[in-house]
Amino acid sequence: MLTEQSAYTNRWRQISPVAKGLVSLFGMVAAFAAGSPRAALLVAIILSLATVLGAGIPPARYLRVATPALFFLLASCLSLLVSLEFNHISTFGVSLHLSESELPRITQVCCRSLACLTALLFLALTTPLTDIISLMRRCKLPETLLDLMTLSYRTLFVLSEAVHETATAQSARLGYATFKLSMRSLGGLVANLAVQVWQRSQALHLSASARGNDGALRFLEPDYPGSHRAILSAVICGILLVVTAVYIP
């Protein structure tokens, strides 16, 4: 839960999520508006520097959070580079083909994706999910979707705790001593978890109705002091970013 931790402890925690959301949005616009791979790379660098230097996310942590996504990005770019070709001459009928003519376009796509990634990381690492959800609520996204997000998010922690506790209890009784026992314990864990999920959802429903709920989950949106100024600066920075991306050759 590195993302989670950063979101709650970074220097920009108290800045309005609207402002941070706007920077991220403008970042993505800039990524798409970028006229060249170089411009897109520049956007990526600016956004990641903002996250690391501005919000004070340790670079090592930034890299660790970014690594899985970078891995996927690399894999998909490589697969774009290589294409399968059906030809009639070769014995197998199929051959791998390196598309050199496509190279500029592929570099462009990769750099743009990288810039988008940094824009998303900027939001994810500086803004807790609760804030993101309330931001989405303000954007009038469907209630059901948001309720689902709220509940899944909370359930994630409740469940990971339950998994942890059950697994610890099992290993305390030598449940994972041998391979055979491990398999058996794992089965027990899954079965137990299924029951727990069911019971917890029941309990959540009960306590929601006890607090007078009869439909959508409504919460108070957090108040951020001085958010107008933050939003204004976010818009200015965002526009500058887009302009840079467009005019860098």
Partner 1 sequence: MSNAILSLKDVSYSYPDGTSALNDCSLTIRRGMRTAVMGANGAGKTTMFLHLNGILRSSAGDIQWEGTSLDYSRDGMRELRSRVGLVFQNPDSQLFSASVREDVSFGPMNLGLPKNVVRKRVEEALLSVGMAESADKPVHNLSYGQKKRVCIAGVLAMEPEVLVLDEPMAGLDAAMQEELTVVLERLHAAGMTIIIATHDLDFAYGWADEAIVLQRGRLLAQGNAADVLLRPEVQTELGSSPLVAEITRSLALTGMAVRVNGYLPRSRSELLKAISEFHRQENEQ
CB of 116 to partner 1, least distance (A): 26
Mask 82-111, x = binds partner 1 (CB under 8 A)? ------------------------------
Closer to partner 1 by Cβ: residue 72 or 157: 157
Residue numbers 154-193 binding partner 1 by CB under 8 A: 154, 157-158, 161
Give CA separation, 173 vs 87, 183, 186, 192, 193, in Å: 61, 14, 13, 16, 18
DSSP secondary structure string for all residues of 127-177? S-HHHHHHHHHHTT--HHHHHHHHHHHHHHHHHHHHHHHHHHHHHHTTTTS
Q: Is 200 in the site for partner 1 (CB under 8 A)?
A: yes
Told to check if 210 binds partner 1 by CB under 8 A, we report: yes
48 or 130: CB nearest partner 1: 130
- Terminal-to-terminal C-alpha distance of the chain: 39
Asked if 204 interacts with partner 1 (CB under 8 A), we say yes
User: Looking at beta carbons only, is 74 or 145 nearer to partner 1?
Assistant: 145
Q: Give min distance, CB of 165 to partner 1, in A.
A: 11
Instruction: Note whether 17 binds partner 1 by CB under 8 A.
Output: no
**Piece in contact with partner 1 (CB under 8 A), picked from 48-56, 84-92, 175-183, 203-211:** 203-211
CA distances from 44 to 68, 93, 106 (A): 17, 41, 17
Query: Is residue 207 a contact residue for partner 1 (CB under 8 A)?
Result: yes
Q: Tell me the per-residue interface mask from 114 to 133 with partner 1, x by CB under 8 A, - otherwise.
A: --------------xxx---
Please answer whether residues 32 and 115 qualify as being in contact, where contact means their C-beta atoms are separated by less than 8 angstroms: no
Position of tokens 């197998």?
92
Cα distance between residue 168 and residue 171, in whole Å: 5
Signed CA dihedral, 136, 140, 144, 147: sign only: positive
In the bound complex, what is the minimum distance in angstroms from residue 201's beta carbon to partner 1? Answer: 9
Nearer CB in complex with partner 1: 106/151: 151
Residue 195 touches partner 1, criterion: CB under 8 A = no
Least distance from C-beta 11 to partner 1, angstroms?
Answer: 15
Phi first, then psi, for residue 86 (nearest 5°) are: -90, 115
Which residues lie near partner 1 (CB under 8 A)? Answer: 4, 8, 128-130, 134, 150-151, 153-154, 157-158, 161, 200, 203-204, 206-214, 217-220, 222-223
